[in-house]
Structure 1
Amino acid sequence: MKIFKDQLGREITFENTPKRIISLVPSQTELLYDLGLEKSLVGITKFCVHPYHFKATKTIVGGTKKVHFDKIEALQPDVIICNKEENTLELVEKLSEICPVWVTDVITFEDNFGMISDFGKLFNCRTESQKWLDKINFALSDFNNYIQNKPLKKAAYFIWKNPYMVAGSNTYIDTLLQLNHFKNIYENGSRYPEIEIKKLRLEGDPDVVFLSSEPYPFKEEDAFEIGRFTHHAKTVFVDGEMFSWHGTRLLKALPYFKQIQERLAF
């Protein structure tokens, strides 16, 4: 019997290494696959789109906020993977009646590395976990060398419309903006504040406006509408997965960030 602590500090006891996993977090489904745990993953959400073939080979148990409890029970999981931001406390508590629930909480790079390391211990795949940590750390060091002389730019990162919402402080998105030398003009607000676009200039007058592909898929007409209320900002459509997905996605995100930097410089 082993006792582990998840990222909320909750003690969870397992008699054996969990062999049947349900993931209710798309980015962590990708991480579990990258750690070589495809055969152990028995259930995923409809938003778990990577790797693509999982939609055909795994049982879809619902979304990230609403699930089919009967499907989950039928899968007889040893552990369910949740995330503090993606899944609700009420959902975690109800799922805990079925089996242990492991909750992640990722805001910083240290949190992300901790999660990968935790999964290595929890699922007895420490070697694979360490390989990914080494690759990501090497790539992150390379990116820091690349970005160190880039000028600091003010930015606003939009995630929703009606009402307009942006990524604020204490978020993984903000951590990645900082990595890219973007000063988030909403860094002193709440995590995902609602804003009035007509106040964009007053609230920071960004140099760059990022329009994310998820959770709301922004379009050209949105860029035009928001652009009316900026002074000189460049509007950039970005892949939301690269800015908001945790885990091994960071390794793919770093080359993508270089492309964004080059587009802005051009």
Structure 2
Amino acid sequence: MKIVSLVPSITEALFDLGLTEHEIVGRTKFCIHPHDKIKNVPIIGGTKNINIEKIKALQPDLILANKEENVKEQVEALMDDFKVMVTNVETVEDNYYLLKNLGKLLGKEERAQLFNLKIYDVLNQAKLETSVKAAYLIWKNPYMTIGSDTFIHKILSEIGFENIFKDKTRYPIITPEDLAAADVIMLSSEPFPFKEKHIEELKVFYPDKKIMIVDGEAFSWYGTHIAKCENYFKELLIEIHSVQI
């Protein structure tokens, strides 16, 4: 089976389930994991601007897309000629069924189940002792955060954080003044590449708050990625706990 993946985290999952560059024949420029294997797979554009002609030339048996990450019109255009599977992952349960369905489709059921069990184990092991109010920023100019109907929100909740914007949906625009209720302000490494200088900018408003860069992939990459984040989450929670003491 020849597959084109339009979703970075799903591309990673395909390799983790045991597929190779012989089956994964196309990917986006943002599909960067696993580093050693992905380099041999042709790039067919970005997640928002795919090159339909390049995809047609590859003649895939299956195209994997995502409701949020890809452009509806571009995906629909591919449906005219190819089998397209559109995923939508907002919860840990959604992620469980994504891997289960991919495993069944690809004949990798046992491997998919092992990853699912590992993900639940990682999330069960990583728990704050007491809830911490958090603001998670994904963008700057303007600042944008995450609402309760996002995968990031669900992962934050799973490990014991309370999203102060849980009454919002999707990715609302906010101001620094809106962050006053947070115990910790998290600046994600993606999609906006927050750096140390951005921490200093927010320190002007909140000199006494914990403001930190967090690994965006650990919170937003569904599929198999969370199974590899055990140590990251443990270290993150130790750092948060040290602030609480």
Regarding TM over 0.5, the answer is yes
The residue type equivalent to 1:197 in the other structure is: P
Per-residue CA shift, 1:202-256, capped at 9, x if unaligned?
xxx2000001110001122211222222374201111110110001111112321
Distance 1:32 1:199 in 2: 39
**Are the equivalent residues in 2 in contact too, given 1:223–1:235 (CA < 8 A)?**
yes
Calculate percent identity across the aligned residue pairs.
45
CA contact (8 A) 1:20 1:42 kept: yes
Q: Which runs of 5+ in 1 are unaligned?
A: 1-18
Q: Which aligned pairs between 1:175-194 and structure 2 lie closer than 5 A?
A: 175-194=154-173
Contact 2:152–2:219 (8 Å) recurs in 1: yes
Can you list the C-alpha shifts for 1:107-163, whole angstroms capped at 9, x where unaligned? 1111000000000111222222222223333333333xxx26x11111000000111
Aligned mate of 1:256, from 212, 227, 232: 232
What secondary structure is seen at the aligned counterpart in 2 of 1:60?
Answer: coil
Give the whole-Å Cα distance in 2 for the aligned partners of 1:78 and 1:166: 37
SS at match of 1:53: helix
Q: Secondary structure at the match of 1:258?
A: helix
Q: What RMSD, in angstroms, separates the aligned Cα atoms of the two structures?
A: 1.5
Give 2:148's aligned residue. Answer: 169
Q: Distance in 2 between matches of 1:169 and 1:121?
A: 30
Q: Compared with structure 1, are the counterparts of its residues 97 and 194 closer, same or farther at alpha carbon in structure 2 (3 Å cutoff)?
A: same
Residue from 52, 76, 87 that aligns with 1:69: 52
Aligned to 2:14: 32
1:33 maps to a residue whose letter is F
189, 202, 205: which one pairs with 1:213?
189
Q: Which AA in structure 2 matches 1:56?
A: K
- Aligned partners of 2:43, 2:113: CA distance in 1, in Å? 29
- 1:49-70 C-alpha deviation (Å, 9 max, x unpaired): 0011344311100000101111
Q: Answer whether contact 1:24 1:44 (CA < 8 A) is retained.
A: yes
The CA deviation string for residues 178-212 of structure 1, in whole angstroms up to 9 with x for no partner, is 112111011101210000113322xxx20000011
The count of aligned residue pairs is: 241
- Pairs within 5 Å for 1:1-266: 19-38=1-20, 39-143=22-126, 147=127, 150-201=129-180, 205-230=181-206, 232-266=208-242
CA distance in 1, matches of 2:179, 2:121: 37
User: Does structure 1 conserve the Cα–Cα contact (< 8 Å) formed by 2:65 and 2:86?
Assistant: yes
Is the Cα contact below 8 Å between 1:22 and 1:80 reproduced in 2? yes
- Normalized against structure 1, the TM-score is what? 0.86
CA distance in 2 between counterparts of 1:231 and 1:199 reads: 15
Aligned pair in 2 of structure 1 residues 215, 257: CA closer, same or farther (>3 Å)? Answer: same
Equivalent residue letter for 2:6: L
Q: Which moved more, 1:110-119 or 1:227-236?
A: 227-236
| Whole-angstrom CA distance in 2 between matches of 1:140 and 1:25 | 23
d(CA) in 1 for partners of 2:139, 2:183: 20
Q: Is the 8 A contact 1:24 1:81 kept in 2?
A: yes
Structure 1 stretches of 4+ with a deviation exceeding 4 A read: none
